[in-house]
Amino acid sequence: MRPVRLVVLCLLALVAIPQLRAQSDYAFGADVSFLKQAEDSGLIFKDNGVAKPGLEVLRDHGYNWIRLRVFVDPAKASTHLPNDLAYSIALAKRAKALGFKVEVGFHYSDTWSDRFHELTPSAWQGQTHQQLVTSVFNYTRDSIAAFAAAGAMPDMVQIGNEPTLGFLWPDGKLPENWDHYADLVRAGIKGMDAGRGTAPRPRVLIQLDLGGDWAASKAWWDKFMTYKIPFDVMAQSYYAHDYHSLMELRENLDNTARTYHKDIILIETSYTWKPGKAFPDHDGPFPETPEGQAAFLEELNRIVMAIPDGHGKGVFWWEPFWPRAGVDRGMVDADGDTLPVIRVYDKWTGGEASRTHKPLATPQLTDPNWRPQPAPPAAPK
């Protein structure tokens, strides 16, 4: 019976391997687009009192993805943000060297893009629709090629940032110009493919900012799907200070999975660790304390992990190392030391111990070349 049992165990192991691989692609992520600027300015971050670079802090607590935003020419904008192509590539290279996967979000603007601001880059203003399509293609192609040449090829690419109402206004504004918007998205995806050369194709992500609103999300996705644009991940932003509940978020994400059968990522979220402007009456769903912030991420992650059919693929915290004074949604306190929220994923990933220690292996079941070691000679009597 022993050989039969061994065959059965081997078959069970082979069945289990794809499931383990599927689970390993879950993104414990963070948008760290401000991190390089903060560290270059001299800020020092600490983990439990020990000075450590920000990316290493995240790595040691199980984070496996970072997110970076890219602006076309931020020097031309009044916001003077650092996130041009060279800055983003430098940060992506550091992340790749530490084993992170990288998601790159193209804003197609010189500054922030969201439902309130989708400003056409200064160099593209006044262009016709077809000229804009060409500009999006060329810019995306050249940017991806630059990432690839630097050895920092993105693993996922986002076309537009929160384009719930389109991007590159007024040409790609929604709901007025769906056809134009679709042309621009296609141009971005084709540019990505043209720029990657022989590198593996990044997954393509489309992001909305309708985390707790199923009705609006369904209306948007239904319309977008009519254009048959090839993409891989449906993403949402969710901020509790927008006053949608976690129950509404769960309804939206679960219904999205059941309706469209695509992978889903919560690509932006955060929560305050002390009272501030997010909840003027201090009426947030979790206490505005370090412990309340950690409890928020814990519940949010459970919702995403429970999305039907394994379509929940990750959560990204927005700017854990944001240095802006008075904005207390990061993962470090005023002294740059980590807050309890940084340890939420330790229970899922094993934290630093999983990086510094090897788990017990069973090569008898997983290595087809495994052979029993010969028995040591018997000790002389």
**Known catalytic residue at 162:** yes
Catalytic residue among 162, 288, 291, 299: 162
Locate tokens 């003027």: which residue? 280
| Interval 229-252 mean pLDDT | 96
Q: pLDDT confidence of 8, banded at 50, 70, 90?
A: very low
- Residue 164, CA atoms < 13 Å, CB-side half-sphere: 17
Predicted confidence (pLDDT) per residue in 162-216, tens digit: 999 999 999 999 999 999 999 999 999 999 999 999 999 999 999 999 999 999 9
- Whether cis (ω within 30° of 0) applies to the bond prior to 376 is no
Structure tokens at 146: 């630059």
**pLDDT tier at 12 (50, 70, 90 boundaries)?**
very low
Residue 337 has pLDDT above 90, yes or no: yes
Nearest to 100 by CA among 57, 142, 41, 150: 57
Summarised one tens digit per residue, pLDDT across range 58-77 is 999 999 999 999 999 999 99
pLDDT digits (tens, 9 = 90+) for 126-157: 999 999 999 999 999 999 999 999 999 999 99
Percent of the residues in the chain that have a pLDDT greater than 90, as a whole number: 80
pLDDT interval class at 223 (50, 70, 90) = very high
**Looking at 39, 103, 118, 268, which residue is catalytic?**
268
Backbone angles phi, psi at 61, to 5 degrees: -115, 25
Cα–Cα distance between 261 and 158 in angstroms, integer? 19
- What separation, in Å, do the N-terminal and C-terminal C-alpha atoms of the chain show? 34
The verdict on whether 176 is a catalytic residue reads no
Average pLDDT of the segment spanning 297-316: 98
